[in-house]
Amino acid sequence: MKIVLVGPGAMGLLFGGYLSRKNDVTLVGRDADRMNRIEREGVRIREADGREEIFHPHATADPGELKGAELVLLFVKAKDSKAALESVRHLLGPGTFLMTLQNGAGHEKLLLQFASKEQVIIGTTNQGSYKLDGTSVCHSGLGDTTLGAVSGSGEAFAPVAETFRECGFPCSLSGQVRGMIWNKLMINASSSVLSGILQMPQGYVVENEAAWNLARKLIREICAVAAAEGYPFAEEEQTERIKKHLENAPGGYTSVYADLKAGRITEVSAINGAVVEAGRRLGVPVPTHELILDMVRAMEGRGSGD
């Protein structure tokens, strides 16, 4: 399969490297020097047990030089999605799948401006990866990847799921992929964003009574919105699940933490912002998420925004 992956961050390098095992993969990034280095040296992936392997996808900072693709996979941050899609619009023919595994929810609204609903794949992944340097990552967690359609069963996307499996990613299709995205949002829009605001590791959120009270309010509001959209969750089960996650990885840091610390724009618009948008659309009050959204945006305003 001819694949173009836009956004070679930690997850982009992981997926681009593995998918290049059996596919013609090109990574598209903005840093020409870094893309040239990947083209020359490849992508180094270190497994959790210390094993390393070098993969050789193509890499370019000029997507205009590319011609056609069977799959365009988006791994940029939400704020960069529109510009990224504009840069590869010429690759999106009627037979091209356009796919997102980005954090947060609601990305399909933008993708549908560039491709039909029969072409758009939405999904979620529990793979873990963090950067070691500009061309190397550590594969920190092996988890399932779930793909689905904006509407319908998504059976047309079976070849994509099969390609992922062949390259080492457990992958399945689901008619309930939106529910799984809500499930992942439970952590990202509660404990993860609080860790970022507080500039503390994730464990602090469950250890500190006030922080945990805020997390519970955020979880409660997400459950209410998800239920209104047709995906009911048991609030206490979700609360206990997130509590265990934090207790098992107390020293973890989130992308919101890193972005706020560095003075960068975060992905909060696609995380808590997605909850706020859905709450307004469905008539479900989400005052805690509105507060968190404003708070993060205020903190973003202190940095350079780069």
Give the CATH number, domain containing residue 74: 3.40.50.720
We report the CATH number of the domain holding residue 258 as: 1.10.1040.10
What pLDDT does residue 306 have? 44
Average pLDDT over residues 182-211: 95
Final residue before a domain boundary, out of 175, 204, 228: 175
Q: Determine the Cα–Cα distance for residues 13 and 274; give it in Å rounded to an integer.
A: 26
pLDDT category of residue 221 using cuts at 50, 70 and 90: very high
Q: Determine the Cα–Cα distance for residues 187 and 37; give it in Å rounded to an integer.
A: 35
Q: Determine the Cα–Cα distance for residues 301 and 265; give it in Å rounded to an integer.
A: 8
pLDDT tens, position by position, 120-140: 999 999 898 888 999 999 998
Share of the chain above pLDDT 90, in %: 84
Average pLDDT over residues 241-258: 89
Q: Determine the Cα–Cα distance for residues 67 and 143; give it in Å rounded to an integer.
A: 32
Final residue before a domain boundary, out of 175, 194, 216: 175
Final residue before a domain boundary, out of 154, 175, 196: 175
Answer yes or no: do 93 and 115 share one domain.
yes
Answer yes or no: do 169 and 182 share one domain.
no
Average pLDDT over residues 224-237: 96
Domains held by the chain: number:
2
Q: How far is CA 140 from CA 124, 143, 201, in A?
A: 17, 10, 17
Answer yes or no: do 8 and 123 share one domain.
yes
Average pLDDT over residues 150-159: 89
pTM of the model: 0.87
User: Mean pLDDT score of the chain, rounded to an integer?
Assistant: 94
What pLDDT does residue 114 have? 97
In a domain? residue 240 = yes
Q: Is the pLDDT of residue 253 over 90?
A: no
Range of the domain at 101: 2-175
Q: Is the pLDDT of residue 199 over 90?
A: yes
Answer yes or no: do 151 and 162 share one domain.
yes
